[in-house]
Structure 1
Amino acid sequence: MELLGLGISMICLFVGFGLLIGILFGFFGMGGSFLVTPALLVVGYPAPVAVGSGLAFVFGTSVIGALRHRDHGQVSYTLAAVMILGMTFGIEVGTRVVFLLADLGSADAVISVAYVGLLGVVGLSVLRDARTGGTDASTGRVASRVHAIMLPPMVALPGGATVSAWVILVVGSAIGILSGCLGVGGGFLLLPVMVYGFGIPTAIAAGTSILQISVSGAFGTFVYAQSNAVNIPVVAALLCGSALGARIGVSATQLVNEADIKGCFAVMLLSGGVATASKQVSIVYGVELLETVSTVLIFGTAVLVSGAIVRTSIAALRKIESVGHP
C-alpha cells in the first residue's frame, strides 16, 4: 500500500526520523538538515533529491522558529538582509555545482565525501566543546579583527559594533555555497560566525540566523523544485514528525543540562559521517554489510541520543516530583 508514492513502512520511517530530528532541533537549536540529507543518501535517494529535500526540510523547520524570535525582538533585519544577498548568490552557485556533478555522474560520491568531512569536523568541535565546557579565550580576538576591516559601506550591528558589508557578503556567499551543495541550512556555521566573528549577542544571533535560514531555505527549495529534485512526500513526513519532536526537545531544555548530552550529540555527528562513508564504500565495492552498517549507524545513533534526552528528562521530572512530595 502506498500513499503519495511512499510505502507505509517508508512513511513511518520518515515520520519517526523526523520525530528524532525534531527532539534534537528543539533541544540543541540545530535544524538537523546535516542529518536529513545524509540519511536520504543512505536510504538510496539521488544526491540532487537528497540535497533539495534537505533544504525543503530546513525551510519548514525554521519558519516557526523565526516567527518566535521576531516576537521577542531577537532579529537584526539589516544584518539578515545583507547576509541573505550573499547566501542567495552562494546557493545559486552551489546548486549549479550539484547538477553539474550529477551530469558527470559523480554527485553522490563528491557530496558523500563532503558530508563525511563536514560531520567529522563539526562532531569533533562539539566533542571538544563538551569536554572543555565551551570555554575559548580567543573568542574576542576574532571579532576585533573583523571589526578592524573598514571597507565601506559599514553595517551597524546590535551591541554597538560595525562590520563591513563586503565581509558579510563574502561570509554569506561561502555559507550559501555550502547550503546549495549539501542541503544544509548553515545554522551551525551562521550562529558561531555572528557571535564570535561579528560580536553580536547570542539571542539576536540565533534569531537572525533562523530568519536567514528561512529565506535561503525557501530560495534553495524553489531552485531545486524547478528540476523536480524535491521529494514532497518525504519532506512532509519528516516535518510531521519533527513538529511533535521539537515540542519535546524544547520542554527537555528546562529539565536537562545540555552539557550532559552534548558528548552524545558529538558521537551522533561522527556516526553520521561514518555511515555516509560506509554507504559510499558499499556502492563502490558492492559490500552489502557496509550498507546495513550505514543504515544502522545513522538511524540508530539518532534514536540513542534522542532517547537519552527523553530518558534524562523523565528522570529529572521524577526527581522533582519526589522532592515536591516527600
Structure 2
Amino acid sequence: MELLGLSPALLALFVSFGFAVGVLFGFFGMGGSFLITPTLLILGYPAPVAIGSGLAFYFGTSVIAVLKHYDVGEVDYRLGAVLFVVLSIGIELGSRLVFGLEALGIAELVTGVAYVVLLAGIGLLFLRRAYRLEDVEDDETVSDEEIPPVARRIQSYEVPPMLSLTSGGRASLWTILGSGGGVGLVSGLIGVGGGFIRMPAIYYLIGTPLTAAVGTSLFAGLFSGAFGTFTYGLSGGVDLAVVSLLLVGSALGARIGSAATTIVEEDDVIVYFGLMMVLASAGIGLSELADWLGTSALDVLSVVLLVGSSFAVAAIILSQVLTSAGDGETDTPSATDGK
C-alpha cells in the first residue's frame, strides 16, 4: 500500500530522517542540504529534484527554528540582515567562479576537495576548542569564554563604522562584510546553503555567543532558502510529497533542537558540532572517492555514514534534553518538600 506515491518504508524513513535533521538544524544552525540532497540522489531522485527539495526543506525548517530562537531572544536581526546582503553577493561571485573552473575542466575536483577540507577543518577547529574548554571550571572564566579568543582579538581592532551586536559588544562592519562575503563565495563555489560555514564564521570571526550565532545564522540563511525554493519550484524541481514528509518530522525536531541550545552545556555543543562535521567530511569524501572509482558500494556507505551520524548526534542531544527535563521534574518536588 502506497501513500503519496511512496512505500511505507520510505514514508517512515523521510519522517524519521526529517526529525533527526530538524534536531541538528535547530541545534547547530546549519541547513540539512548536505544531508538531504545526497540521500535523495542515492535513492534515485534526479539531481534538480534532490537539490530543489533539499532547499525547500531548508526553508521550511528555517522558519520553524528561527521562530523558536526568537522566543528565547537568540537572533540578531540587524546582523542577520547585513549578512544576507553580502552572502548573496558572495554566492553570485562563487557561482561565476565555478563556471570559470568548469571551463578549465577542474570544477568538480576543486569543489569536492573544498567540501571535504572545509567540513573536516571546521570540525577539528571546534573539537580543539572543546578540548581547551574541558578543564575550565570557574564560572566567571566560562562567561569570558563565551566569545572565542580569536573573535575578541578581532573585535579589539575598532575600524569604523562599528555595528553594535544584540548579544553585546561591537564588531566592525568591515569584519562582517568580509566574513559574510567569504562565506557566500565558498557557498556559491561548493553549491550548498553554507550553514555549516556561516555559523562558525559568526561565532569565530564576528564574535557572538554560540547560541546567538546559531539563531542569527538561521535567520541570515532564511531568505536565500526561500529564493532557492522559488527558483527550483518554478521548474518542477521540488517534490512536495518528500518535502512534506521531511517537514512533518522536522517541525518537532527543529523546535527541540533550538530549545536544546539553552539546556546543553556550550562545550557539549562544540563537541557535537565538531564530531558531526568530521563524520560528514568522511561521508562526502567517500562519495567523491566512489565517483572517481565508479564504485556504488562506497556511495551507499557514504550515505549510511551521513544518515547514521545525524541520527546518532540527534539521539545524544535528545538524551541530554530528556535528562535535563527529568532533573527539573525531580528537583521541583524536593523544593516543595523543603518549604
TM-score (norm 1): 0.76
Aligned residue number for residue 156 of structure 2: 144
Q: Report sequence identity in percent.
A: 45
State the shift of 1:18 in Å: 1.0
Aligned residue number for residue 269 of structure 1: 277
Q: Matched residues in 1 for 2:92 and 2:242: separation?
A: 23
Q: Matched residues in 2 for 1:293 and 1:201: separation?
A: 36
Aligned residue number for residue 267 of structure 2: 259
- The one of 162, 172, 175 equivalent to 2:180 is 172
| Residue 285 of structure 1 pairs with residue 297 of structure 2 | no
Q: Residue by residue, what CA displacement relative to the aligned partner does 1:163-203 show, whole Å, maximum 9, x if unpaired?
A: 34x65444333322333454544344334434543345666
State the shift of 1:274 in Å: 1.7
Q: Residue by residue, what CA displacement relative to the aligned partner does 1:247-284 show, whole Å, maximum 9, x if unpaired?
A: 33345556543534653543332222222222332333
Q: Residue by residue, what CA displacement relative to the aligned partner does 1:14-69 show, whole Å, maximum 9, x if unpaired?
A: 22111111222333444444433444455455555444433322221222333455
Q: Residue by residue, what CA displacement relative to the aligned partner does 1:93-124 show, whole Å, maximum 9, x if unpaired?
A: 44566689899998776654433222212221
Aligned residue number for residue 137 of structure 2: none
Aligned residue number for residue 128 of structure 2: 128
Q: Matched residues in 2 for 1:200 and 1:297: separation?
A: 31
Q: Aligned ranges for residues 60-71 of structure 1 at < 5 Å?
A: 60-70=60-70
Q: Matched residues in 2 for 1:252 and 1:204: separation?
A: 13
Aligned residue number for residue 193 of structure 1: 201
99-108 or 212-221, larger mean C-alpha shift: 99-108
State the shift of 1:215 in Å: 1.3
Q: Matched residues in 2 for 1:309 and 1:169: separation?
A: 33
Aligned residue number for residue 9 of structure 1: 9
Q: Matched residues in 1 for 2:290 and 2:267: separation?
A: 35
State the shift of 1:73 in Å: 6.2
Partner of 1:173, secondary structure, is helix
Aligned residue number for residue 55 of structure 2: 55
Contact 1:76 1:157 in 2 (8 A): no
Contact 2:23 2:256 in 1 (8 A): yes
Aligned residue number for residue 119 of structure 1: 119
Q: Unpaired runs of 5+ in structure 2?
A: 135-144, 335-339
Partner of 2:172, secondary structure, is strand
1-10 or 218-227, larger mean C-alpha shift: 1-10
Q: Matched residues in 2 for 1:137 and 1:202: separation?
A: 13
181-190 or 206-215, larger mean C-alpha shift: 181-190
| 1:92–1:31 distance in 2 versus 1, CA, 3 Å | same
| Residue 310 of structure 1 pairs with residue 322 of structure 2 | no
State the shift of 1:297 in Å: 1.1
Partner of 2:59, secondary structure, is helix
Aligned residue number for residue 140 of structure 2: none
| Residue 156 of structure 1 pairs with residue 163 of structure 2 | yes
Aligned residue number for residue 227 of structure 2: 219
Aligned residue number for residue 141 of structure 2: none
| Residue 296 of structure 1 pairs with residue 308 of structure 2 | no
Contact 2:286 2:301 in 1 (8 A): yes
TM-score (norm 2): 0.74
Contact 2:20 2:250 in 1 (8 A): yes
Contact 1:46 1:108 in 2 (8 A): no
Contact 1:50 1:183 in 2 (8 A): no
| 1:316–1:81 distance in 2 versus 1, CA, 3 Å | closer
Amino acid in the other structure paired with 1:139: A
256-265 or 210-219, larger mean C-alpha shift: 256-265
Q: Matched residues in 2 for 1:93 and 1:223: separation?
A: 18
Q: Residue by residue, what CA displacement relative to the aligned partner does 1:115-136 show, whole Å, maximum 9, x if unpaired?
A: 3222212221222222222854
| 1:37–1:97 distance in 2 versus 1, CA, 3 Å | farther
| 1:46–1:105 distance in 2 versus 1, CA, 3 Å | farther
Partner of 2:254, secondary structure, is helix
Q: Residue by residue, what CA displacement relative to the aligned partner does 1:286-318 show, whole Å, maximum 9, x if unpaired?
A: 334323322321112222222223334444555
Aligned length: 320
Partner of 1:156, secondary structure, is strand
| 1:220–1:174 distance in 2 versus 1, CA, 3 Å | farther
Amino acid in the other structure paired with 2:151: T
